[in-house]
Amino acid sequence: MPIDPNFPKNHKVEEKFKDPLSESYHLVWGPGHLAEAASDPKVVADYKAAGEEIKPMGVHGTYVAVDWDSCVADGICLVICPVKVFEWYKNPGETGRNDRKDFTDKASPVHEAHCIWCMACIEVCPTKAIKVDQANQEIHEKEFANLS
């Protein structure tokens, strides 16, 4: 199922997620739910190879938001973004389509604040895992302040 367009209403902030290479944070919204990633053959195979169980991960980011339970590590969002908002979660700093660690990896909206609202990423994601909404910036600021 695609990302829930009303995730800020239907989910709660669970944590602040710090990018390992910079001082930037994004919010994580949960609870997650098993979705496309749990039935995608490449994702399932790589979890199995790693000896890990697929668990719900929730929505990462608020005004550039990626549902990590729907993200199947396709990588097209990383290369189409004109301002490099996304990096691979398990391969920090890398933005090439095939720079994912493996198919257990996820698109992390590390540079959410750089978004110029072109909407290219939401069009190309094969599982419609991304929602971009400038109006959610205010929600991000408020929730972030609550956590600080």
Nearer to ligand F3S, 8 or 103 (CB): 103
What does the binding site for ligand F3S look like in residue numbers (CB under 6 A)?
64, 66, 71-77, 80-83, 85, 107, 115-121, 125-127, 129-130, 132
The dihedrals phi and psi of 97, each to the nearest 5 degrees, come to -60, -35
Nearer to ligand F3S, 27 or 77 (CB): 77
Nearest-approach distance from CB 9 to ligand F3S, in angstroms: 21
Nearest-approach distance from CB 71 to ligand F3S, in angstroms: 3
The dihedrals phi and psi of 112, each to the nearest 5 degrees, come to -50, -40
Cα separation values, 11 from 66, 68, 99, Å = 14, 14, 30
